[in-house]
Every structure is written in structure tokens, then in C-alpha cells.
Amino acid sequence: MNPFSIEYVFFQLGGYPVSLIELIGSLAGLVSVWWAARANILTWPMGIINCIAFGVLFYQARLYSDMFLQLFFLGFTVYGWRSWHTRREETAQGIHVLSMPGRLIGISLVGLLVLLWGYLISKIHLIWPGLFPEPAALPYTDAFISMMSIAATILLGRKVLESWLCWILVDMVSIYAYFKKDLAVVGFEYVVFLGMAIFGWLNWWKLYRLQPGKK
């Protein structure tokens, strides 16, 4: 059997069959988010492994929006890596916050994109039946995860504090979605991600306050 198939059981965890691809993606994701919360540049190369593994996993689980999201993540890691590399000596510097108009525009744009992308993904088995023979699972929930994750990743690459608030929302919705799709390891991973995102918010807030001129 293909070792990267979702059906390839690497080991049993309390009766739950853990596939190799789910394990690789989950471990890489945990390490990547931990480094991101600590403002460590190594978050980006580890993120590449996470993106590839989860892209394969989500295609097989019919979470097509999440699959496309991994392609975005894969490309954006290059930007994030380069962006952080230019200020690799900085840890407590370079973090900033959005203006109120920026927040309102961002929320409105993400909401619109969720509706549009969710509708498209709900019809993708009709538009492209050769590649997507079955209907998407949880298309609008999946679309929210995808669009909010894109916003969070862009903000993270630009060292915007609110990126962690976006990740907190992503993690809460993801916990629901992945447990509903019986991806228990990924679901538990997102429980850990939620804790890391809260830590990331608190840690970045502390670093932001350490910058000259910040209260």
C-alpha cells in the first residue's frame, strides 16, 4: 500500500488508526507553530513539510479548500522566510498592529471571500469531476478556515500582532471540522495549536510592548 495514503496505518492510538501522512503533517505543524510563537525564523522551512503532507491528506479527506490552502501556504513560506530573514537579528522589534480601518476592511474582505470560495468549493465536483469526483465536505466551514488562514499567514509574514487573533479563530473552527471528519490526530493537533496561538498572542504582545515608544 502507498505509505502516503490516508488508509496506510502507521500505528494505533487508543484504537484510532494514525496514518503516516497525518503523523508527518501534524508533527511538522506543531514544530512550525511553536517556532512562530517564539518569533523564530525556522518556522518557515518546517512549514514547507507541513504544507506538503497536509495537502496530500486533505485531498484524500475531500477537504478540498484546505488542500488548496496548502498550495498557498507553500508559496507564502518563501515570502515569510525572506521577509523574516531581512530582520533576523530582530526579535522584540518589527511587530506592529493594524489601524481600526485596516481591521474593518480585513474583516469585510475575509467575510466576502468565505462566501465566494465556499460556494465555489461546494460546486467543484460539478465543475471539475475528473479530479474531484465526490462533493466537498463542509465547504463553507472549510472556506472559513482557508480564508482566515490566508489572512493570518499574510499578517504573520508582516509581523502584525493581530495575526494571532486570526489563528485563534482558525484553530477553534478547525477543531470542530477535523473531529467531524474523523481526523482525530489533526483535531487534537489543533487543540494544541489553539494553546500555542494564545501563547503567541501573549508573547508577541510582550515583544511589541518592549519596542521603543510603545506603551
pLDDT band for position 86 (cuts 50, 70, 90): low
Residue span of the structural domain in which 122 resides: 9-87+101-210
Any domain includes 139: yes
With 70 as the cut, is the pLDDT of residue 43 above it? yes
Q: Is residue 66 part of a domain?
A: yes
Q: What is the pLDDT of residues 90-102, one digit of tens each?
A: 444 578 899 999 9
Q: Where are the alpha helices (DSSP H) in 123-183?
A: 124-127, 139-157, 163-180
- Total domains in the chain come to 1
Residue 9 phi, psi dihedral angles, 5° rounding: -85, 115
Within-domain flag for 176: yes
Q: Does 124 fall in a domain? A: yes
**92-139 per-position pLDDT tens digit:** 457 889 999 999 999 999 999 999 999 999 999 999 898 888 898 899
Q: How far apart are the first and last CA of the chain?
A: 58
The pTM of the whole model exceeds 0.85: no
Q: Does a structural domain hold residue 1?
A: no
Q: Does residue 128 lie within any of the structural domains? A: yes
As beta bridge partners, residue 12 has: 17
Asked if residues 70 and 147 have their Cβ atoms less than 8 Å apart, the reply is no
Structural domain includes residue 184: yes
